[in-house]
């Protein structure tokens, strides 16, 4: 079941929305399904990311300057299809004169738009894109993305690529496992603290498929529409 978008905030919903959302007053906020991440230049020639949030069939754009490193870094783990929110919580004095707006990200990996994810993965699969890449914002280039400690190793020169249908073990595969885990957990079929082995076993039970990159789109589609019947 898709989460209510405004549940991302503890209380209250969005302020007045527009296609290009601007934080003008403390308390302004916006939430929606994270459907795209673009890059651009603002009116002051500052490089920025443009977060596209979709709600009630309409896309709303939220700009984040690339120099706002804390907010940008908090956005990096967020995957397409998650329900997220931004809130203008306070203003702080700045040495540059104008006050600094404090914008906070509200996100919970368990809050997702299952219908959107299903359509996205199914559509991208037609072009040979696996489920992990389908839900990863393309604006996060490999040169920009930070390397997690567990990823900061290189395979020996004599290593060879594994054969197809090898169970998930790489960081990217783990990311797909988390996506599937969220979908299964939201349907009450496993606990939120289930291990990877428990997720893989439940996926096998429901779909009859091994949790592999090749099977990712089929598994997500099946689980998204699963009713327990």
Give the pLDDT confidence of 206-224 residue by residue, as tens digits.
888 787 766 777 778 778 7
Question: Bridge-partner residues for 150, per DSSP?
Answer: none
- Band the pLDDT of 166: cuts 50, 70, 90: very low
Computed over every residue of the chain, the mean pLDDT equals 76
For residues 65 and 127, membership in a common domain is answered with: no
For residues 13 and 32, membership in a common domain is answered with: yes
- Band the pLDDT of 35: cuts 50, 70, 90: very high
- For the segment 77-106, the average pLDDT, to the nearest whole number, is 87
User: What is the pLDDT, as a whole number, of residue 148?
Assistant: 40
157 assigned to some structural domain: no
* Residue 27 region by backbone torsions, left for phi larger than 0, else alpha for psi between -120 and 50, else beta: left
- Band the pLDDT of 7: cuts 50, 70, 90: low
For residues 216 and 171, membership in a common domain is answered with: yes
For residues 49 and 88, membership in a common domain is answered with: yes
* pLDDT tens readout for residues 171-186: 336 777 888 888 888 8
* Nearby residues of 42 by Cβ (< 8 Å), 6 or more positions away: 48, 63, 65
* pLDDT tens readout for residues 181-203: 888 888 888 888 888 888 888 88
- Band the pLDDT of 159: cuts 50, 70, 90: very low
Do 164 and 214 form a contact (C-beta atoms < 8 A)? yes
146 assigned to some structural domain: no
User: Domain range holding 215?
Assistant: 115-141+166-224
For residues 43 and 120, membership in a common domain is answered with: no
What is residue 94's DSSP assignment?
-
- For the segment 8-25, the average pLDDT, to the nearest whole number, is 68
- Could you tell me the two tokens for 210? 């091994």
229 assigned to some structural domain: no
Question: Which of 15-29, 30-44, 89-103 is most confident?
Answer: 30-44
């Amino acid at each position: 079941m898709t989460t209510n978008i405004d549940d991302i905030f503890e209380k209250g919903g969005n302020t007045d929305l527009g296609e290009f959302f601007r934080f003008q007053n403390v308390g302004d906020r916006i939430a929606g399904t994270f459907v795209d991440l673009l890059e651009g230049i603002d009116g002051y020639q500052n490089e920025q990311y443009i977060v596209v949030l979709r709600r009630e069939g309409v896309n709303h754009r939220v700009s984040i300057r690339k120099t706002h490193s804390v907010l940008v870094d908090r956005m990096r783990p967020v995957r397409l299809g998650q329900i997220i929110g931004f809130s203008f919580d306070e203003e702080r004095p700045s040495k540059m004169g104008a006050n600094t707006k404090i914008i906070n990200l509200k996100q919970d990996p368990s809050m997702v738009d299952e219908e959107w994810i299903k359509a996205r993965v199914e559509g991208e699969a037609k072009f040979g894109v696996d489920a992990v890449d389908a839900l990863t914002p393309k604006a996060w280039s490999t040169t920009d993305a930070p390397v997690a400690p567990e990823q900061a190793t290189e395979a020996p020169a004599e290593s060879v690529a594994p054969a197809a249908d090898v169970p998930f073990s790489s960081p990217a595969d783990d990311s797909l496992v988390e996506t599937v885990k969220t979908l299964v957990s939201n349907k009450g079929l496993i606990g939120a603290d289930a291990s990877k082995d428990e997720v893989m076993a439940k996926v096998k039970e429901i779909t009859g498929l091994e949790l592999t990159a090749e099977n990712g789109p089929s598994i997500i589609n099946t689980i998204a529409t699963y009713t327990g019947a």
